[in-house]
Each structure stands twice: as C-alpha cells, then as structure tokens.
Chain A
Amino acid sequence: MAVLTLERKPLTFAERTYLPQIFGGLKTTFAHLVRKKQTLEYPEHRPAIPPGYRGVPTLVMDPNGREKCVSCQLCEFVCPPKAIRITPGEISPDAPNSHVEKAPQAFEIDMLRCIYCGLCQEVCPEEAIFLQNQFSMSGYTRAEMVHDKARLYELGGTLPDKHLKWDHKKAAAAHGNAH
C-alpha cells in the first residue's frame, strides 16, 4: 500500500494567539451560569418520582387503619430471589377484625435480596403490598436491611382503597343476611 504524505497546514495568526478558543470556552462557561440547572442538590433536594415507579416494597393499611395483608403467602411464593418470609397467624375471635380471620404474625423482606421486580405487588390479592416511592435504602448492618412487619408498615403508611371488601363483608353480616 502506498504511503500518502499529507502536508500539515500552517496555523493562521488568530489561531496562533489562542484567543478565539479561549473566548469560545468562556462563552460556554458563562452561558451555564444563567441557564436553568440540570442537576439536583441531592440529598437535600429529591427528584419527583414518576407514577409506576418501583421503589422499596412496603405494607399498607386501608383508610380505616386495618392491616390489609392476610398472609396468603402468594408474594413469598412468587418472589424470585426469595426475599420475603411470612409467618401466618390467626386473628383472635375477639378482635375487631375477627371476620378477616388471618393476618401475618411476622412479615420480613430482606432488602439485600430484593430485586425490586414488583411481582409481589402484582400478585397480591388483597392489595396490601406496594412498591412505593422510596428509592434509597441503606444501613450499617445486615440485620438492619431485613425489614420486619413494623418497619414495612411504617414505610408503607395508608393508601386509599377502592374496594373495602372486608368492610362490605362485615356489613353484609350485620345486614342480617346471616343465617
């Protein structure tokens, strides 16, 4: 293959002074001073989370403060990394929610295992588990990263409920449809 020799063009006078490049650079710098900011001052400022975001899984209460989870263990079954561990329990017949019969005795999600896939939320027949907006989860120990039931409810809070199916059931019993 033949070697092609290219002659380097000599620099012009303006190029030799470097000034056009310096001013060009300064223009970009000063333009950023007045332009709208592209970044947030995290952690003081937090981004707005779009709907449908899959953050940390949480347990929620219904508007009447009833714990929605009935420990059916479908989330435990579906969880791909096996992060969820539930100990089912019975609600005592004297409790106000005795008509629900079943509630978790213990509910643990190991956040070191969780992959934020959202299958637990999708599979939940009681709409009790939601991946909400919290995206930053850290801790000093492994034990701290296993969320127990109290922590999950603290993170989850209360969400509006369209169905209130257990309240309807209680109302039907009170209505006298009982035999």
Chain B
Amino acid sequence: MIQPAKPDLVTVNIDGKEIAVPKGTNVIEAARLVGVDVPHYCYHPKLSIVGNCRMCLVEMGLPAVDPATKAPVIDPATGKQKVNWIPRPQIGCGTNASPGLHIRTTSPMVKDCREGVMEFLLINHPLDCPICDQAGECKLQEQSTGYGRGYSRFIEQKNVKPKRTALGPRVMLDDERCILCARCVRFAKEIAKDDVLGFIDRGSYSTLTCYPGKKLENNYSLNTVDICPVGALTSTDFRFKMRVWFLKQTDSIDTESSVGANTVVWSREGQIYRITPRRNDAVNDTWMADSGRVLFKQVTSLDRLTASGSIDALVARAADLLKQGSVAIVGSGRSSVEEQFLTKKLAATFGATVSLVSRVGQGDRFLVSADKNPNLRGALVTGLISALPAPKLTELAAQIDAGKIKTVVTVNEDLTAAGLTASHLAKVSVIFVGTHRVPTIAIAKVVIPSLTVFEKNGTFVNQQFRLQKFAKAVPGPVGATDDLIILAKLAGLAVTDVAAVWKLLAAEVPALGTMSYANLPDTGLLLDATPWAALPFAEGATLHYQPAAAATA
C-alpha cells in the first residue's frame, strides 16, 4: 500500500508561538491553528483571495542572515537570531506561510491598523443595528467591539444609499451597510458560475449591483447572504422575522437530494426560522442550494397529518390487517437508516416483499444530485433492498393483480404517484405511515401520522456512502409519532429511541458494527462502498463526488 505523501510542513512563529503548518497555508489560517484570531472580512477559506478589506494587517518578519556569508545574524542582547521586521504591515490573507516567518498580531502598529481600518469602514456605516438582521452574527459588530476605537471622530453627514434593492427573488441588498468586501461577487463568479454581481462607481459612491438586465436568481444565491460579513445582503424570506440570538442551532442534513449537504436548522420555541449550510469540506464545503432552505416549511404546512386517538389504537388496527398475511411493504429512500432497518425487521416479521420508490430527477452538477432520495444508500447498507428500485412499482402492481398481496404498508410514499392505479389499490388494504396528506390516504385503511426530518433523530447515507447524522430541531405536532416508534411497534420490537436501534444495527449490519449513534463524527463516517460499486446509480458528478463508473473509466 502506498503511504500518502507527508505534507510539506513549514514552521512559522506567531506571537512567539512556533507551529508547523502545511505549505500554502496563509497567515490567517496558521494563526487560527495556534488560537490567535486575525480579524478579516473579505477573506473566505473557500473563495479566492483579493485582500481588499485590509482588516487582517499584521506585522511580519524573517530571520536575519548575513547577505555575504548567509550565516544567521545573532542578536547579542538575546543570543538568538535577529528578526528583520518589515517596516510596514502586511495582509495576512494574502501571505502564505514561509519557513521561519515571524508574525506579530498584538503590536501597537497592528492595533493602530485595525482601529484605522475599522474607523474607515464605519465612516458611512448607518449603525442601524437595531433594525439590522445581521445583528448578533455581524463581523462588523464583533470586530468594532474587539478591535475598534470605541468612539467616533466623524462629524460630517454620512452618505445615504438605497436601503431596499432586490438583487433577485431571494436576496435583498442594503447599500449603506455594504463594506465592499466582494465576497458575494467572488462567490457568484467562482462557485455559482453565474457572474452577475459587480461593483459600479468609485470611492464612497461604489455600489454592488447586478449586470444590467440580469438578476441574482441562481439556485445558490442565498449563499451570498451567508457569507456577507455585514448585513448588506439579507434573505427576503428571513428578513425581519427573528433576531438570531434567540435561535437554537441544530445540526441537520439537507434532504432534497442524495448529496446530503450538512445544514444547521435555526429554531425558536418549536418554530423553525431558517436553514443555513454547515461546513463539511468533504461534502458541501460551506455551501447549500436555495431549494433546500425552504424545506422546513413542510413542518407547519396545512396538510400535515395528525391523529386524534392514541398511537396504540392505530397500531392495533394495523396489526389486525398485517395478521392476515400476504404483506407487501413500500419502504422509502427518504426514511432514516434506523427506520429503514426497522422496515426490514417489519418485513422479516411478516415475510413481506419490499420495494422502494425511485425518485430520479435532474441534478445541477454542484450540490443537488439527480437522485432525490436522500437515503437510497442507507436502504442498501441496512439490507432493506439489494438492487436499485425500479422507476415505478410495476412488480408490486403485478403481484397485486395476481392476488398475492392482501395488505400494503407504505412508509411515507404516495402509492398513486408511484404507479399503482385505483384498481390496484381497491384490491388491497393500505396502511399508510406518513407526514402529509397525499392522495393515498383517501383509500388507506389505517393512517398513522409520523414526523418530518426536523422532528426526529437519525442518520442518512449520502451518495458518497457517508453516514451522516441529523438531530431533532423542534418537537413534532400533537398526534404525530416518531416513525421509529411506529415501525418498532408494528414489528413488535421494544425499542423507542435511536440509541436502542443502533444497538441492533451494530449487531446485524456488519458495516456499522463498530459504531453507535453517539460516537458518529459530526462530519460523517465514510462507509465501504465496494459491495455496491457495480450498481448503476443515477447521480452524475457533483461537488466532491465522482460516480464510480466515471471514476474507473
């Protein structure tokens, strides 16, 4: 086996502390590694470096050597090698670590620089924090507290600029707050590949704007709001809804496709206000699609299913139907790994056939893949299915026509949409476990309301076979039960939470043998994909993912 090449390390000295960092690390990242904060606005780890905010100015120097002999120059006072400090401050973001580089971030010159930069940035800043949505997560607020002068010397009238410019359907621009860091411009050009943003005019007249006749309306436009260090770009959906300091952050996973972008769900008192991306350099970097950010609206949608009776009564009615035998189960690629495992147990209990609903659509080659099932791989890993699902439930339809099936259990899948006709459904009793009103519930004998992904714990396996966990952000509505409990009760198992299911999972699924829900890393766990390498998955290439067929070709 080939050992991975050791990264080239260089040793730098930051505020007297020596640290070895990989070659190519810039000073901001190197300082972060020793716990030194270098304030910055325009620098973003996933964007190109422009160095236009000047906030990360630090003092730098290199060890002195004699020009003629190349021998180190020793300072007689300390007995150590002298450091030749550059007489002017340098930007940290634009300087890569070089061997022996010395950095000072606490010297009087650096302090002066930061105060000066903050003063210039705040000259035309409206200071409307009480009405600004960024307040609480604003770099300008944080750094004026941390590094600012603390009082204003500006007595002239401030510039007044437009406060509500719609850059696109989801992004609103407040020109007064903009500090011209150009993160959004670089994002649109480099990441979204939709180069519509730019600055026009000069000096204090500079304004962010869209190219004439165009709009910032690509499916990644809201990432500009996330990376805006100030409140200049705000989300039309979240604008003026809630102050961020009230919101509880819960780690979750985007369910719109099998990419499994890592997200943070922001909620207060059981109500979700927004979803933002969570950094995971192996999956989604720091980005996510706009389409995934509105998924929380399903939680409070009017067609949510709830039951008035107890869950046990519903399960008893379902059990009566299941006892008749000849059961077919329609599992779901949207269920969590734990639920799919329990679905498999349920199928084993009643000797049922299992089919899954395929959901193949269009991918965008970035963070939305072609397979809209977030957890199809989970069904393979748990052994719920062994081959990819067919586009329609034709096999099940044939079995129903042949009279082999009396009862169909469907886990949050609309059978009519999946290819079963009314005549098929008339021949069977349907048990529907699901969250929302879909046409199937009209003919279902038993409807058991369950929870959305925001209301339960669990894990998904994304297209890279990366096992990622999501946590409960808000409590479910009254009258809806965790899918896990429903499936366990139907299967006659005495498990009530994810940890208990994981004990069974670890025992029965070899790939997960050493894992428990609690010690699953936040960045996910890459599973061995070789048993399924030959399957023709629907996904094309996306960020950090190459389809196996293309990779071997």
Contacts and interface: CB of A to CB of B under 8 A. Distances in A.
Given A73-B246, A169-B160, A177-B158, A90 B240 contact: yes
Interface stretch (A21-29, A39-47, A98-106): A98-106
B129 A177 contact: no
A50 to B, nearest CB: 30
A179 B201 contact: yes
Contacts of A71: 240
B207 interface: yes
Interface string A121-161: 00001100000000000000000000000000000000000
Contact of B157 (A89, A102, A177): A177
Contacts of A173: 160
A14 B317 CA distance: 100
A178 interface: yes
Given A70-B131, A74-B130, A102-B131, A178 B160 contact: yes
B240 A89 contact: yes
Interface in B216-244: 239-243
B205 A179 contact: yes
Contact of A177 (B159, B201, B241, B243): B159
A90 B162 CA distance: 16
Interface residues of A, number: 24
Interface in A73-102: 73-74, 76-77, 88-90, 93, 99-102
B130 A179 contact: no
B135 interface: yes
A179 B159 contact: yes
Contacts of B201: 179
A72 interface: yes
B294 to A, nearest CB: 19
Nearest to A177: B160
A77 B243 contact: yes
B80 interface: no
A172 B158 contact: yes
A177 B157 CA distance: 8
Contacts of B162: 178
Given A178-B161, A179-B201, A100 B246 contact: no
B163 interface: yes
Q: Which of A101, A173, A178 has the most CB of B within 10 A?
A: A101
A172 B157 contact: yes
B311 to A, nearest CB: 33
A175 interface: yes
Chain B, interface size: which category? 20 to 34
B164 interface: yes
B151 interface: no
B267 to A, nearest CB: 16
B157 A72 contact: no
A177 B158 CA distance: 8
Contact of A88 (B164, B205, B241): B241
Nearest to B135: A72
A77 B207 contact: no
Contacts of A99: 163
Contact of B131 (A72, A175, A177, A178): A72
Interface in B137-161: 157-161
Contacts of B131: 70, 72, 100-102
Contacts of B246: 73, 76-77
A76 B242 CA distance: 12
Contacts of B240: 71, 88-90, 101-102
Interface in A51-87: 70-74, 76-77
Contacts of A179: 159-161, 175, 201, 204-205, 207
A93 B242 contact: no
A70 to B, nearest CB: 5
A71 B240 CA distance: 9
A70 B130 contact: yes
Interface in B158-215: 158-164, 175, 201, 204-205, 207
A163 to B, nearest CB: 13
Q: Which of B129, B157, B158, B240 has the most CB of A within 10 A?
A: B240
B120 to A, nearest CB: 18
A177 B161 CA distance: 8
B222 to A, nearest CB: 19
B163 A77 contact: no
Contacts of A126: 130
Interface string B107-151: 000000000000000000010011100010000000000000000
B138 to A, nearest CB: 13
A173 B245 CA distance: 31
Q: Which of B160, B239, B242 has the most CB of A within 10 A?
A: B160
A90 B175 CA distance: 18
Contacts of A100: 131
A169 to B, nearest CB: 7
Contacts of A72: 129-131, 135, 243
A125 B207 contact: no
16 contacts: A70-B131, A71-B240, A72-B130, A74-B130, A77-B243, A77-B246, A88-B241, A90-B239, A90-B240, A102-B130, A102-B131, A169-B126, A172-B157, A178-B160, A179-B175, A179-B207
Given A72-B243, A93-B164, 7 more contacts: A73-B243, A77-B243, A88-B242, A101-B164, A169-B126, A169-B160, A179-B204
5 nearest A-B pairs in the assembled complex, by CB-CB distance: A72-B130, A102-B131, A173-B160, A178-B160, A73-B243
